[in-house]
Amino acid sequence: MKLVINGGKMLSGEIPVFGSKNAALPIIAATVLTKEKCVLKNIPRIGDVFTMLEILKSMGSTQRWIDEHTIEIENKDLDQSRINQKLVCTIRASIILIGPMLARFGIARLATPGGCQIGSRPLDTHFMAFRDFGVDISFDEKNGEYAFMLKNPTNEKVVLKELSVTATESLMMLGAKFPLTIRLAATEPHVENLGKFLSVLGVEVSGAGTNIISIKPAKNESQQIIFEITYDYIEMGTFAILGAATKSKLTISNVIEDQLDAVLHKLREMGVAFEMQNDKLFINGPAGNLKAAKIEARLYPGIPTDLQAPFGVLATQSEGQSLIFDTLYDGRLQYIHELQKMGAAGTVLGPHRAVIQGPTVLHGTEIKSLDLRAGATLLIAALIAQGESVIQDAELIDRGYEKLDERLRALGADIIRHP
């Protein structure tokens, strides 16, 4: 798939934020915990969500779309031995199935999860946590599959090696059957959203959104399970940066301001004019010249690593030298090489550090979507650039952004999709 963009156009209008990819995936996985029908609202229609749904279908899940963003899932007759391991290999989020499968079946077999190539993404935090809880883990080299088996929990407290989102979520779902306290838990909004869904199932959850989460199994399973996925704060930030970089006036709806503290603070520091009214963020373009800044990706509530690259594009339009740090992954800065093809003055100093000198005029050329977030980043760059840009491997963008090209066309962007 490729996108052809004629850049340099001023955008205007309102763009809605859709449901959170990072909340939808673990909550879809959490439906494994119950045999009752689950109605999930505000589900984004994106590649990773469709893959997770297909993984559940391979085990016997039945699903029905009620409307465009609402799905009914019934996992009454699941057979975990039938899981499609080829699909498991295609998305990183499949790792979160370990918890609910252990809770329901006492055993789980999963191939090594895949996903975007953004550097080393080891699984040792997950394995250490499950072993501490009493899970036996082995690896079948012939089939390339991990086997997880839980007989009797040996510990009701697990301390994570690091603040891993997916390890936190997987353990939370295991706690739906076995009492569990997770320390050094991740605090992202989608972790808190999962806690709310587990509460709807009847599970006692306290501390979701903090570094200590305690979970007690459900005493009585809920008979009616209806839940709405939270909105995607990565989309909120992406659209805000897009509006600032293209010097456009945009209205972004379905914004949760409290989830964007660090992002909005950095935008203000760089000279972006904006205001919030209820759930709408109005991007009014730069108040003057954009200013260079130090951009450091941190764990929530800091600037998300998923927004570090979009901020890098904004840095190409800002006066002075911006410093970029991202220690969370060692492959997140590869997009800068693509920006260099467009005329950006960026230098990668190592796996975690880069500098970008601005402002520079970007020129359209052929570039490659290296991963989901890099793809969205290069799309912003193409909208700024003079002339025509061609983004190859654009299907990677579809993994996390629903109909992004259509939504941007509604704002006046000149984008054509080619198979």
Catalytic annotation, residues = 116
107-111, strands of its sheet edge to edge:
107-111, 145-150, 135-140
From CA 236, how far away is CA 228, in angstroms rounded?
18
Run of H or E residues at 293 = none
Sequence letter at residue 284: N
From CA 363, how far away is CA 143, in angstroms rounded?
47
**Cβ-contact 363, 386 below 8 angstroms:** yes
Tokens describing residue 335: 């997009």
Count of residues making up the chain: 419
Q: From the CB of residue 155, how many other CB atoms can be counted at a distance below 10 Å?
A: 12
CB neighbour class for 332 (10 Å; exposed up to 12, middle 13-18, buried from 19) = buried
What is the crossing angle of helices 372-384 and 233-245, to 10°? 20
**Cβ-contact 252, 411 below 8 angstroms:** no
Chain position carrying tokens 């994106």: 46
From CA 383, how far away is CA 365, in angstroms rounded?
12
Sequence letter at residue 151: K
Tokens describing residue 398: 């579809």
What is the crossing angle of helices 124-133 and 165-174, to 10°? 30
Which among 28, 40, 26 has a CA at the least distance from the CA of 68? 40
